[in-house]
Amino acid sequence: MDFNLTEEHLAVQEAARDFAEKELLHDAIERDTLSKFPEKQVKMMGELGFLGMMASENYGGGGMDTISYVLAMEEIAKVDASAAVIMSVNNSLVLWGLEHYGSDEQKQKYIPALASGEKLGCFCLSEPEAGSDATSQKTTAIDKGDYYLVNGTKNWITNGGSADIALVIAQTDTEKGHRGINCLIIEKGTEGFVVGKKEDKMGIRSSDTHSLMFSDVKVPKENRIGDDGMGFKFAMSTLNGGRIGIAAQALGIASGAYERAVQYSRERRAFGKSISQHQAIQFKLADMRTRIEAARFLIYKAALDKDEGRSYVESAAMAKVYASEVAMWVTTQAVQVHGGYGYVKEYHVERMMRDAKITEIYEGTSEIQRLVIAREILK
């Protein structure tokens, strides 16, 4: 087993780190305070290839492996978790799903613009009554012959206000249960497609999260992804890969907070020496580093499983549940190391602590991840 990164991997990592430090750091606190979407930076991410890293080069993507994606996600999330989740949704939930399940026409039409950052995508599964229970879709897509008529509401949609293209999970045949669900591509501007209020969130505040409403929206049949009734399979398969991206986001948040805690501990003096010389702080730093490294290798394992064609349902769920809980724990410890300074915005770690919490919730809560893992164990 080779734990060394290739030169290509190191180049991707360095490029992502450079972008994050030069383009995201300077206004991260301001954007968090104002809930301001990083429009300029997202365009730059597209130009640099970060929005379509794993998409095929045939469609204008980067053609990179999942390890490269994980490395870039970590570096960007170290500085700004909001930018990282925008990147994650476009890569993992939108582009991956389109490329693996879409028709040739759909791929040609949508992937190049999404991969380049010319357009942005969102993934619409959650509803007021369908979060962890994804089978309880109330959004309907009634078959009208050559088109579907879509009605319903989607909640908690990342990129919801900024996305040009939405992948919408909807129920076509209630009698078939989850086998009667479809995924439809709906473009912004389609009559009856309305962007609802922007959520005022605790964390990842510069990513935009909205409700989306559909009122008698006509969607042509050619915008259905895959065969009739495979929408639930599409959603679950796509989320499996998405969990690797969110695990990498959580890893980045934890790593960023840890690095700031180490730096601060060397600079801050108490009782005649830097606090890094006090055993209480050293123990915190040691535990932070250990948990981060454990999370990192769980994530690498899931990424390798995906790249090498093995099942990654269990490894992705393990990576996601552990990395997200590490992120929450490490950021809390980073605030503690900073003391009173950790509680003010200027030092970033309070933002990181707020950002960390959502990684335990979206794309499958920690409780759902444990159910997934248990089912894989007991097959």
Active site residues: 363
Tokens of 251: 């890893």
- Residue tagged 């897509």 (tokens): 141
Backbone CA torsion sign across 146, 150, 155, 161:
positive
- Helix axes 313-338 and 279-307, enclosed angle (nearest 10): 160
Q: SS3 of 17, please? A: helix
Rounded to an integer, what is the distance from CA 214 to the centroid of its chain? 24
Alpha helices in the chain (DSSP H): 7-19, 28-34, 39-48, 66-79, 81-88, 96-101, 104-116, 231-267, 279-307, 313-338, 349-357, 366-377
Do 78 and 227 meet the contact criterion of CB atoms below 8 Å apart? no
Nearest to 181 by CA among 217, 148, 222, 146: 148
Q: SS3 of 262, please? A: helix
User: What does the alpha-carbon distance between residue 379 and residue 376 come to, in Å, rounded to a whole number?
Assistant: 5
Do 340 and 308 meet the contact criterion of CB atoms below 8 Å apart? no
- Residue tagged 């089912």 (tokens): 375
Q: Which run of H or of E encompasses 317?
A: helix 313-338
Torsion of CA 25, 336, 367, 167, to 10 degrees: -10
Tokens of 32: 């968090």
Rounded to an integer, what is the distance from CA 53 to the centroid of its chain? 14
Do 217 and 95 meet the contact criterion of CB atoms below 8 Å apart? no
Torsion of CA 282, 291, 366, 29, to 10 degrees: 60
Question: What distances in angstroms separate CA 319 from CA 50, 95, 302, one per listed residue?
Answer: 22, 21, 7
Burial environment of residue 229 by CB neighbours within 10 A (0 to 12, 13 to 18, 19 or more):
middle
